[in-house]
Structure 1
Amino acid sequence: MEFVTRSDRPDLREMAAVVFKERWPEFIFHDEVPKKYMDRVEQHFRHFDIMVLDGGSVVAGGWGVPIPWDGTAEDLPSGYDGALVRAVEAHEAAVPATTLAFMAAAVGASHDKRGLATAVLQELTRRARNAGLAHIVAPLRPTWKHRYPMVPMDEYTTWTRSDGLSIDPWIRTHQRMGARVLGTAPRSMVIEGTVAEWESWTGMIFPVTREYVVPDALNLVRIDRELDRGTYVEENLWVQH
């Protein structure tokens, strides 16, 4: 198993994109904030964008962004979108970063149960420590929350198994690494589109104005037929390692 950055191996970017896309719903890729900032994230923070190679193939990967953070819950970004904005704007304003925010980790569907997600997070942590960053945080997108889209995140995080760990596999991964919950990120991602776009992204039909349960959405999606607008505000969970 070998760790490389995407900038080290640009020839593997397409293979890595497949690994990252297969676990995410289509609508996630239509958040406007990453569209505005990802080119600069890739330019500024290449050291924290890694792939795991096994036999020359990409089997997992993950990335993070360094942000200034004073260590209090009140100073956390709004979530995923907020962390991207803060990382880029702080870097370009020469504001020193204190913290690495894990933004995503993905494992190829045929490589589950190998501990690869944990390995990715550990490697990113090692790189953060070597870079002198004092804190590690993450705006988690819990794996099973989409099964309970009408349950608030703060309630969902209290649901535990008999061993005291979360019922959620992704939260458990972080708990086993020593992470603790800091609080919810109520507006972690905001995704908007026309009704036709939402129908294309989800394979559903939205005939009337109302909130809908959408596969793989952690919260309800609001469809307004009169305004021809669909809006999804995703709530995530901040944890600290």
Structure 2
Amino acid sequence: MNSNYRIVALKEYPKLTEEIDKLHRLGWVKFMGKDPIANKYWNKLQLWFAEFQFLLLDNRGTPIACGHSIPFHWNGTENNLPSGWDGVFEQGILEYENNIKPNSVSALAIVIHPEFQGKGLSELMIKEMKSLVKRNQIHQMVAPVRPSLKHRYPLIPMGEYVRWKRKDGKPFDPWIRTHCKTGATIIKVAEKSMVIPATVQEWEEWTDMEFHSSGKYVIPGGLVPLNINRDANTGVYIEPNVWLNHHLD
């Protein structure tokens, strides 16, 4: 660990939950904070799984990044993976409530303060998450990854996008590339990883756009288009992610 930074677990510093919320507000477009599963379970995640939530502090003790993950049970097969981000989040919560012992951990998010992005902290945060999983005596880790540049190519199917390579043969997407650099391999696309339904008016507020007709709309920060149905007064955003397997040995 670079001496300029320090890792702390939320379990040891529970008062830092407010700092985590600040980082998330800075790190995501507005609609990403409106996912129903996240809103339903986020407080339980931080309360029940505090040892799996951590922060990166700079040399002044200021939180500049945070990482989130959740234990769950997985038999190791592709078909047994949850639907994606929403699915694994809910599964982990429900299994805890039903006393089902986890044998795996899924990453949920890594957020880095905008002022500290591009300084190599993403790789550091992934490595710390993997170390945290091993310290908790769990030997499988997966991640439903949100590719960082996919929002620039919202009309390209995710299955095609993840096959894009740079000239050096490495993944085109920087976030997928960082995960692979730290020992991950692609399992499959999670086509319905996160589903965010809302009224047309809510979507207009979140995107600063107007939707006068039903149809598909490219929205700022969206990995895929938003589906608007004016007659039903609904907008539904169904985001695909990419399941990665982090090899811990």
Q: TM-score range by the shorter chain?
A: over 0.9
- For the 8 Å contact 1:160–1:167, the answer to whether it is kept is yes
Looking at structure 2, the residues matched to 70 and 12 of structure 1 have their Cα atoms a distance apart, in angstroms, of 34
Give yes or no for contact 1:60–1:117 (8 Å, CA) kept in 2: no
Distance 1:67 1:15 in 2: 26
1:64 corresponds to which of 62, 69, 73: 69
- Residues 168-201 of structure 1, C-alpha deviations (whole Å, 9 max, x = no match): 1100110101110000111111001111100000
**8 Å CA contact 2:196, 2:236 repeated in 1:** yes
For 1:203, which of 197, 208, 229 is the aligned residue?
208
Q: Shift of the alpha carbon at 1:45? A: 0.6
What's the CA shift for 1:98?
Answer: 1.1
- 2:37 corresponds to: 33
SS at match of 2:195: strand
Q: Choose the corresponding residue for 1:48, options 49, 52, 76.
A: 52
* Counterpart-to-counterpart distance in 2, 1:7 and 1:42: 8
CA RMSD of aligned residues (A): 1.2
Aligned length in residues: 241
Output one character per residue of 1:138-168: Cα deviation in whole Å (capped at 9) or x when no partner. Answer: 0000000011111111100110101111111
Normalised by the length of structure 1, the TM-score is 0.96
Out of 115, 126, 132, which is 1:127 matched to?
A: 132
- Taking only the aligned residue pairs, the percentage that are identical comes to 35
**Secondary structure of the corresponding residue to residue 22 of structure 1:** helix
Correspondence 1:85 to 2:76: no
- The answer to which of 118-127 and 200-209 deviates more is 118-127
Gaps of 5+ in 2: none
Report whether the alignment pairs 1:175 with 2:180: yes
| Displacement after TM superposition at 1:32 (Å) | 0.9
Q: In the aligned structure 2, how far is the partner of 1:235 from the partner of 1:82?
A: 12
Structural mapping, 1:5-16, within 5 Å: 5-16=9-20
Q: List alignment gaps of at least 5 residues for structure 1.
A: none
CA–CA distance in structure 2, aligned partners of residues 130 and 10 of structure 1: 20
Matched with 1:114 is 119
